[in-house]
A and B are shown apart, each in its own frame.
Chain A
Amino acid sequence: MAWLISFFETALFIALAPLFCGWVKWVKCLLQNRRPPSVLQPYRDLIKLFRKRPVIAAEASWVFEAAPYVVFVTAVFAAGIVPFAAHHLPTAKVADLIVLVGFFALGRFFLTLAGMDLGTAFGGMGSSREMMIASLAEPAMLMAVFTLAISASTTNLSEAIHWVLETGLVLRPSFVFALGGLTLVAIAETGRIPVDNPATHLELTMVHEAMILEYSGKYLALLEWGSQIKLMLYGVLISNIFLPWGIAEDFEISHLGFGLAAIVAKLAVLGIALPTGETLVAKMRVFRYQEFLGFAYLLSLLGMLSHVILEVN
């Protein structure tokens, strides 16, 4: 029964990811005084891409064809680990936060390989930038994750959420700093403004788009879907770690329904906050990424320090 709910929840997560992306786009269009497309537009794009015949360059190796599947599957596995509407799920119990970071790293590794596979200038440039961002963002993310893990004395996400729920509302300076650090990392990793612009194909600024420039058809659809899942994963991670209230503790239908409603509401709020932030700031120059992510690392480090100094005896 628990496994069934777990699989169903992961499937729901994957199915809802384009909707979340569409919601973010919809809010952003309204904020910029444009007429928004329907929130279902990402689904239409995905269906269109799945129907099209992919074109692959003659020089492409097997990495080029395998990468979209790896990216998508790691995103799906990561979605299985993160508690969505309920915790205490068997899929969440088998893997912890470090595995989650590892899944992200594996997907990114194959994506950068695929970007370099054809030997085009843009692909290589995008890959090198992605690696630079990753090498700076990953320590910050791990530091934030460890702050949570030390507080809850577990690296398992489901147990950590249980611990946060059990201790109730406590003003923890370390969690506020870790939340700040994780938010900045999420912005960098999902390629949003000010680090990367998801809506542009301008040569000099793109990171994610540069790597997937050569893809078409179902491969492109898988990559797009994977990155939509990743965006929602960060949203769910942030809202469920730091504000887990409402998540279902057991598998009663009413509790599950309430948990689902709670997480959808939290994501809707996040989906307003993210484009608002994006509208307020301008995109950074590439050479300033290091400062941005250094700040994220500093926040996570301060979270750890304030936990050690202020919160334990």
Chain B
Amino acid sequence: MGLMQQTIFEQAVLFLAALVVFTSFLMLAQRRLFPLIGLFAWQGLLLAATTALVAYNRDYSHLYISALITLAIKTLVIPWMLRRWIIQLDVHREVESLLYPSYVMTAASSLVLFSYYVVLPIEQLSALASRNAIAVSLAVVLLGMLLMITRRQAVTHVIGFMSIENGLFFAVSIRWMWTN
């Protein structure tokens, strides 16, 4: 099933999935803390948008609540709290030195490929598109792990952990799109 046979909503969901992975990549490349939190907030916003889109398309009212909670917590409350902590801890001027940024990027893209091949044999899932979406969310989980491994600061670790959680949440909400 190629992209052209799908409805515009399914295309939009897959498009948002690609953007979520893109924000994960940007987080890996970002050295400063405030822009990193901004990227995390953007990822939360994309997540909320995806959930709301699925809710609208499949007419699941309970997913609207989930989207609203995501929007409130992940794009507003958590970034705001992290921001306050950073200012209190007085680390907002620190720039983390990335060791071998190009190696990290190569590792990140191979992790994306790896997650694709891990998900490939799962034939039980109903539709192919949903399998691809699962691959994307697994990639987001692994990229969050990579973010935690390659950095030293505690705040970055927190953000990496949250982005792992984002990946899991994304898998759950995107599954509703292709289940009957």
A170 with B109, Cβ < 8 A, contacts A306-B18, A313-B128 known? no
Q: How would residues 282 to 313 of chain A score, 1 for a CB under 8 Å from any chain B CB and 0 otherwise?
A: 00000000010011001001100110111111
Question: A176 CA to B11 CA in the complex, in Å?
Answer: 13
CB of B142 within 8 A of chain A? no
Q: Which of B2, B29, B116 contacts A311 (CB 8 A)?
A: B2
A171 with B8, Cβ < 8 A, contacts A177-B18, A309-B132, A310-B18 known? yes
Q: Which of B4, B12, B29, B113 contacts A305 (CB 8 A)?
A: B113
CB of A173 within 8 A of chain B? yes
A171 with B15, Cβ < 8 A, contacts A309-B135, A310-B136, A313-B128 known? yes
Question: A298 CA to B4 CA in the complex, in Å?
Answer: 25
Quick check: which of B19-27, B64-72, B86-94, B159-167 contacts chain A, the rest being far away?
B19-27
Question: A294 CA to B26 CA in the complex, in Å?
Answer: 12
A contacts with B: majority SS: helix
Q: Which of B11, B22, B136 contacts A171 (CB 8 A)?
A: B11
Check B11–A170 contact: CB distance below 8 A. Answer: yes
A-side contacts of B133, CB under 8 Å: 310
Check B112–A305 contact: CB distance below 8 A. Answer: yes
CB of B105 within 8 A of chain A? yes
Number of A-B contacts (CB under 8 A): 62
Check A302–B25 contact: CB distance below 8 A. Answer: yes
Question: A310 CA to B134 CA in the complex, in Å?
Answer: 10
B contacts with A: majority SS: helix
Q: How would residues 26 to 68 of chain B score, 1 for a CB under 8 Å from any chain A CB and 0 otherwise?
A: 0001000000000000000000000000000000000000000
A-side contacts of B116, CB under 8 Å: 308-309
Q: Which of B3, B4, B105, B113 contacts A310 (CB 8 A)?
A: B3
- How far is the CB of A130 from the nearest CB of chain B, in Å? 21
Question: A132 CA to B132 CA in the complex, in Å?
Answer: 37
CB closest chain-B residue, reference A312: B2
A-side contacts of B19, CB under 8 Å: 173
CB of A167 within 8 A of chain B? yes
Check B4–A170 contact: CB distance below 8 A. Answer: yes
A-side contacts of B18, CB under 8 Å: 173-174, 176-177, 302, 306, 310
CB of A172 within 8 A of chain B? yes
A-side contacts of B15, CB under 8 Å: 171-173, 176
Check B1–A313 contact: CB distance below 8 A. Answer: yes
A-side contacts of B112, CB under 8 Å: 305, 309
CB of B141 within 8 A of chain A? no
Question: A171 CA to B3 CA in the complex, in Å?
Answer: 8
B-side contacts of A172, CB under 8 Å: 3, 15
CB of B180 within 8 A of chain A? no
CB closest chain-A residue, reference B9: A171
- How far is the CB of B117 from the nearest CB of chain A, in Å? 10
Question: A177 CA to B133 CA in the complex, in Å?
Answer: 18
A-side contacts of B135, CB under 8 Å: 309
Q: Which residues of A contact B (CB under 8 A)?
A: 167, 170-174, 176-177, 291, 294-295, 298, 301-302, 305-306, 308-313
3 closest residue pairs by CB, A with B: A173-B18, A171-B11, A306-B18
Given A302-B18, A302-B25, A311-B2, 13 other A-B residues pairs in contact with their CB atoms under 8 A: A167-B4, A170-B3, A171-B12, A171-B14, A172-B15, A173-B17, A176-B15, A177-B22, A294-B101, A294-B105, A298-B109, A309-B136, A311-B14
Q: Which residues of B contact A (CB under 8 A)?
A: 1-4, 8, 11-12, 14-15, 17-19, 21-22, 25, 29, 101-102, 105, 109, 112-113, 116, 128, 132-133, 135-136
15 A-B contact pairs sorted by A residue (CB < 8 Å)? A170-B11, A171-B3, A173-B14, A173-B15, A173-B17, A174-B18, A176-B18, A177-B18, A291-B101, A298-B109, A308-B116, A309-B112, A310-B17, A311-B3, A313-B128
